[in-house]
Amino acid sequence: MKFNTQNKMDAVLVADASLNTPQNNSTQDQYNRLKDDATVSAYMSQSYIAVSVADSVENVKAQLVNDLKDELIPTYLYVVDKDNYLNGILPVKSLLTAANDLFVSDVMRQTFFSVSPEQNRHDVYQLISHSGLDSVPVMHFGKLVGVLRPQDIAELIEDENTLDAQMQGATSPLEQPYLETSPVTLWRKRVVWLLMLFVAEAYTSTVLHAFEDRLEAAISLAFFIPLLIGTGGNSGTQITSTLVRAMALGEVSLRNVWSVLRKEITTSIMVALTMGIAGFVRAWFLGVGMEVMIVVGLTLISITVWSAIVSSIIPMVLKRLGIDPAVVSAPFIATLIDGTGLIIYFEIASHVMSEFA
């Protein structure tokens, strides 16, 4: 059974009737696919080889040779009936090694993984990215309406990773190529996130105002504020980026929180001791006195460990709440650590320095 023009038209009509989102390979549609609500129908292909259960292996082998248009050999052939209902899949390897006197029904597989055309790209990405599948049938009420080929799966994964990368940078995804995007559009994509971060960061100035009188008594402490909060934010961003990627690959989840905490806290203690010594030496070079040197060193150690705890827990909690951790993790964790890092700094100073108490 060849997959002729009429079969293709029927399959397209089924998909279009359910979603009204026909496939288009234009540059604009490629950028539209980056939207968070993009579905499988934007990626699936109508390029596949269909066979019948009654076909002989010998005839299907000949059909495979005739239907190949390039050097790419499909992983599976798809076994459908006259109404395009999917009965099973036929691995090409099984076909080529089967005896010619057998039939498709003798070698096909009736258990297989499939997706529907209306499924969200993010959900399918979670299923496919760590499954090892390189070809997936797309079904709508039992009918085969398309397939995700290796190149389609690669595009889907690339688009999901692109969206995550843009969201991690606290900006909305672009619907057009960068050079075709106007400054007004870039402003609109960025300013909302920046205003949200501005509001979140506002409590940092509240902390400074609360310690204003005591800070004036030990003004040398102000020299190290950018260094300390910057180190905490950088440390948190490193952990978040690693953890969000591991979560996307299905390597960790909320049930692994204690394992993640043990690993990250152990690592952060080693990092903290290194950063604490570096901060102590930096304060010594500035000649600010032994008390300030001790405060800076202890604060760097404390902030680094604190950022490890926060950065390990928040992404997994967000995931459990149904919020994409890539959207808010890095920018908001850095903002949170900025304010709490200042509180840690001033509390340590109040216990170490007599004039700051």
Is residue 124 within 8 Å of 40, Cβ to Cβ?
A: yes
Cα distance between residue 191 and residue 137, in whole Å: 41
Residues 6+ apart with CB under 8 A from 239: 264, 268, 307, 308, 311, 312
3-state secondary structure of 297: helix
Cα distance between residue 29 and residue 139, in whole Å: 22
Is residue 244 within 8 Å of 168, Cβ to Cβ?
A: yes
Enter the tokens of residue 277.
């010594």
CATH entry, 5-168, from 3.50.50.60, 1.10.3720.10, 3.10.580.10, 3.60.21.10: 3.10.580.10
Is residue 233 within 8 Å of 334, Cβ to Cβ?
A: yes
Residue 353 is classified by DSSP as: -
Concatenating the DSSP letter of every residue in 192-259 gives: HHHHHHHHHHHHHHHHHHHTHHHHHHTGGGGGGHHHHHHHHHHHHHHHHHHHHHHHHTTS--GGGHHH
pLDDT of residue 303: 92
Q: How far is CA 281 from CA 105, 276, 296, in A?
A: 75, 9, 10
Concatenating the DSSP letter of every residue in 147-187 gives: EE-HHHHHHHHHHHHHHHHHHHTT-PPPSS-GGGS-HHHHH
pLDDT of residue 145: 92
Residues 6+ apart with CB under 8 A from 238: none
pLDDT string in tens for the chain (357-residue length): 443 434 433 443 344 443 343 444 444 454 445 444 588 888 998 888 999 989 999 999 998 888 887 777 888 999 999 899 999 999 999 999 999 999 999 999 988 889 999 988 888 887 887 677 888 999 999 999 999 988 898 888 888 877 776 666 656 666 677 788 888 888 887 787 778 778 777 777 888 888 877 777 678 888 888 888 888 888 888 888 888 878 877 788 888 889 999 999 999 999 999 988 988 888 888 888 888 888 889 999 999 999 999 888 888 888 788 777 766 666 777 788 888 888 898 889 888 876 555
Amino acid at site 335: T
Cα distance between residue 229 and residue 339, in whole Å: 8
Question: Are domains 5-168 and 178-356 of this chain identical in fold?
Answer: no
For the chain, how are helix, strand and coil distributed in percent, rounded to 5?
65, 10, 25
3-state secondary structure of 78: strand
pLDDT of residue 5: 36
- Report the CATH superfamily, name and number, of domain 178-356: SLC41 divalent cation transporters, integral membrane domain (1.10.357.20)
Residue spans per domain, the chain? 5-168, 178-356
